[in-house]
């Protein structure tokens, strides 16, 4: 890295307090940083490391209590975002991957090489399988083929099945499966399940990132659609005919059942489960391990099983925690009522 602190502070519009002549050799967590390195502090839970960190410089919020004079400070409104910008600018990894790996299977209808229909800077890594009638393209749309747009990075052992469309600047991590069959079965009169052919596809728009071992099922008819800017964590299941709105974030082990439509700018924490055929509006946050059984038409924070607005969920949780106490109080009240009844019976 070896960048001047002045240049780093300028990048994040930060104010230096201390030695502005420092040269920063690298970045690290506050509890692991060494001399010459830059770290950051924005959560109170990490303040316990402030007195012992060996970092030479630290990004903090304005007004932070700067009790150490052996550290140089950069004040920034959002230290975590400033730190992220520094990593992106100076330390983004360069992948030693290019073109189509010799161990990848790309259907023999694909055309590769110089001056042909190969998406610019597309990488298909080792062990990938890109399905039937493939064209990897640059400025070419072929509706019957798999399409992978410019600057997309397909990591190892990814499967992209027939008819699926991948936009520009997509990142698909190892083991993901795009276009697996939707879970479509109908029982006959004897209760034997017959497979319903899944003849749709998956459309992944620009700037989408798909985590490791994610399954995005093809639609029964039409398309399963992942809109622009969506970020999907590892081990997520997205079922047939789901639509995920722009810039939505889906955390690990979330499962979304078929034909559910999710709005833009939503956040689903880990292990959220959604029933099928629901509508989730824009700007909904669903906290971890919540189960969504009904459509959500109002933006906000939701939690619980079944998921409820946060205030309601907290009230219910408080009552549940107090149930043992309520039970004892009810028993005492029942005894008092029984005694009063006996006294009343004697008088009457």
CB 274 within 8 A of CB 296: no
Q: What distance in Å separates the CA atoms of residue 266 and residue 255, rounded to the nearest whole number?
A: 15
CB 166 within 8 A of CB 149: yes
Known active-site residue 173: no
Longest CA pairwise span in the chain (Å): 106
Residues 6+ apart with CB under 8 A from 280: 260, 261, 262, 263, 266, 274, 292, 295, 296
CB 204 within 8 A of CB 224: no
Is 337 exposed, middle or buried (CB count within 10 Å of its CB: 0-12, 13-18, 19+)?
Answer: exposed
| Parallel, antiparallel or unpaired: strands 153-154 and 123-124 | parallel
Q: Given 107, 240, 277, 314, which residue is catalytic?
A: 240
- The candidate with the shortest Cα–Cα distance to 33, out of 12, 56, 66, 14, is 56
Catalytic residues: 240
């Amino acid at each position: 890295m070896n960048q001047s602190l002045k240049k780093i502070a300028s990048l994040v519009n930060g104010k230096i307090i201390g030695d502005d002549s420092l040269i920063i050799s690298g970045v690290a967590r506050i509890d692991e940083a060494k001399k010459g390195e830059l770290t950051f502090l924005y959560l109170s839970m990490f303040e316990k490391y402030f007195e012992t960190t060996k970092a030479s410089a630290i990004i903090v919020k304005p007004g932070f209590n700067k009790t150490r004079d052996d550290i140089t400070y950069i004040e920034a409104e959002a230290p975590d975002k400033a730190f992220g910008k520094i990593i992106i600018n100076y330390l983004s990894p360069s992948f030693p991957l290019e073109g189509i790996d010799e161990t990848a299977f790309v259907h023999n209808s694909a055309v590769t090489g110089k001056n042909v229909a190969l998406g610019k800077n597309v990488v298909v890594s080792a062990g990938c399988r890109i399905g039937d009638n493939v064209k990897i393209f640059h400025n070419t749309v072929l509706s019957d083929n798999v399409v992978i747009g410019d600057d997309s990075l397909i990591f190892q052992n990814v499967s992209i099945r027939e008819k699926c469309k991948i936009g520009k600047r997509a990142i698909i991590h190892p083991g993901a499966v795009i276009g697996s069959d939707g879970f479509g079965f109908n029982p006959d009169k004897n209760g034997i399940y017959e497979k319903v052919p899944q003849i749709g596809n998956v459309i992944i728009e620009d700037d989408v990132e798909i985590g490791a071992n994610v399954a995005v099922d093809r639609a029964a008819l039409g398309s399963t659609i992942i809109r622009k800017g969506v970020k999907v964590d590892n081990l997520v299941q997205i079922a047939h005919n789901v639509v995920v709105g722009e810039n939505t974030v889906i955390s690990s082990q979330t499962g979304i059942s078929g034909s559910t439509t999710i709005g833009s700018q939503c956040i689903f924490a880990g292990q959220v489960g959604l029933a099928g055929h629901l509508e989730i509006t824009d700007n909904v946050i669903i906290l971890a391990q919540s189960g969504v059984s009904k459509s959500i038409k109002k933006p906000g924070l939701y939690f619980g099983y079944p998921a409820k607005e946060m205030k309601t969920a907290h009230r219910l949780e408080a009552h549940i925690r107090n149930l043992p106490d309520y039970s004892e109080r009810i028993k005492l009240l029942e005894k008092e009522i029984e005694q009063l009844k006996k006294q009343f019976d004697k008088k009457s």
